Structure 1
Amino acid sequence: MAIHIIIDGYNLIRRSPELAGLDRQDLQLGREALVDLLAAYKKLKPHKITVVFDGSAEPTLYGSRDRAKGIAIRYSHGGESADDVIRRMANREKAKALVVSSDREVMSAAEAAGATVMDSAAFEDKIAMARYLAVKGDGEAIESSGWVPTTRKKGPSRRLPKRKRRARARVEKL
């Protein structure tokens, strides 16, 4: 199943130490740095990615939808917040969506809609790990010298509920 990653843009920018510094210099600089980071991640993991920004302060020259480097960018209309747009997208996408935000209200609404949720810091760690593995490689083949004795039990461990197993599978695809 394809994953649609829906990101609360300003939330992720302001939670990230490197992006927050750029955001303090210039708002547009922070947005561009986030899109560049996500475009590099998209080259490694070809998931559909949408970043949602608050657009109430944006001039009317900008459309509510844009696309840059393969990343869909959405701005909220005047009178609504990016959180409202994210909730609406999570309701529409349901189980296909993975919502990235540190806002508790957004996370609980997305989870109630059936979407998987992830904290902004955890998503940034996933991006960093994907970049690291791309540079390092997926690992070298380890030659086995045969059977290794172990005391590990072979029976089934405690199994998570089906909904949580599916959510874990979506997160592991990142």
Structure 2
Amino acid sequence: MRIVFVDGYNVINSWPELKEIKEYSYESAREKLLDIMRNYSAFCGYKIEVVFDAHMVKGAYEKKEKNDKVSVVFTKEGETADAYIEKKVNLIGRKFEVYVVTSDSLEQQVTFQRGASRMSSLEFYHEVMKIEGKIGKKCEKVYSQKRNLFEDMIDEDIAKILEKMRRSQ
């Protein structure tokens, strides 16, 4: 199983759509990212952990929310997302296929040394957009297969008569 750790604020600050949303509300940008991650995870079957820094928040405790295959972590006071991800990768990096999504080059090097593959936030953006395109095509195909067209429900002779009537008006 592939496990993907996502540095949440790093991604929000790198993706054009999320960057625009965060100008109005970080909460909205976080929720949009999590929606995208849920779709991505459901389609690919990957386990995803999105990590947000709370290290500057006085009195913050580590907070985890798990929803199916997507987990959300807010780090505790004094702990960065990078430190949290490094700690997790250190525990599981060589046991599973692990990817770390961040544009922080130092973080990429450290996690790579601990057994994870690395991907920049923009590389991940392009991969996610490609998957969203596949999701759209799959939904379109399912939708078109489930359509009930009027012409499919009536006899061919009646369809010809109705078409002739339609054209004569």
The superposition leaves residues 29-86 of structure 1 with CA deviations (integer Å, 9 ceiling, x where unpaired) of 1100100010111121111000000013457687521124641011111111111001
The corresponding residue for 1:98 is: 99
Q: Which amino acid aligns with 2:118?
A: V
Corresponding residue for residue 4 of structure 2: 5
For 1:48, the aligned partner's letter is K
Instruction: Give the fraction of aligned pairs with identical amino acids, expressed as a percent.
Output: 26
Paired position in structure 2 for 1:72: 71
Structure with max Cα Rg: 2
Which structure 1 residue ranges, 4+ long, deviate > 4 Å from structure 2? 57-63
1:47 maps to a residue whose letter is: Y
Q: Structure 1: how far apart are the matches of 2:102 and 2:45?
A: 20
Q: How many residues align?
A: 136
User: Residue 43 of structure 2 aligns with which residue?
Assistant: 44
> Secondary structure at 1:122's aligned position in 2?
helix
Gaps spanning 5+ residues in structure 1: where? 138-174
Contact 2:102 2:121 in 1 (8 A): yes
d(CA) in 1 for partners of 2:68 and 2:37? 9
Shift in alpha-carbon separation, 1:127–1:69, aligned structure 2, 3 A: same
Query: Which residue matches 1:151?
Result: none
The answer to which of 64-73 and 79-88 deviates more is 64-73
> Are 1:35 and 1:69, in contact at CA under 8 Å, matched by a contact in 2?
no
The one-letter code of the counterpart of 2:16 is P
Counterpart for residue 33 of structure 1: 32
Q: Which residue of 2 aligns with 1:84?
A: 83
Q: What SS class does the counterpart of residue 23 from structure 2 fall into?
A: helix
> Which residue of structure 1 lines up, in the alignment, with residue 149 of structure 2?
none
C-alpha distance in 2, partners of 1:119/1:50?
16
Which is further off, 105-114 or 89-98?
89-98
Give per-residue Cα distances to partners, 1:86-106, cap 9 Å, x unaligned: 111111121321100000111
Partners of 2:10 and 2:102 within 8 A in 1? yes
TM-score normalised by structure 1 residue count? 0.72
Check whether the contact 2:50–2:71 (CA below 8 A) recurs between aligned residues. yes
Instruction: Decide whether the 8 Å contact of 2:60 with 2:77 is kept in 1.
Output: no
Higher helix share: 2
Structure 1 Cα separation of the partners of residues 103 and 20 of structure 2: 19
Aligned partners of 1:35 and 1:68 also within 8 Å: no
Task: For 1:131 and 1:101, locate their aligned partners in 2 and report how far apart those are by CA, in whole Å.
Answer: 20
Could you tell me which amino acid in structure 1 is paired with residue 49 of structure 2? Answer: T
The CA distance in 1 between the partners of 2:68 and 2:93, in whole Å, is 25
Residue ranges of structure 2 left out of the alignment (5+ in a row):
139-169
Measured at CA, do residues 70 and 48 of structure 1 come closer, stay the same or move farther in structure 2, by a change above 3 Å? Answer: closer
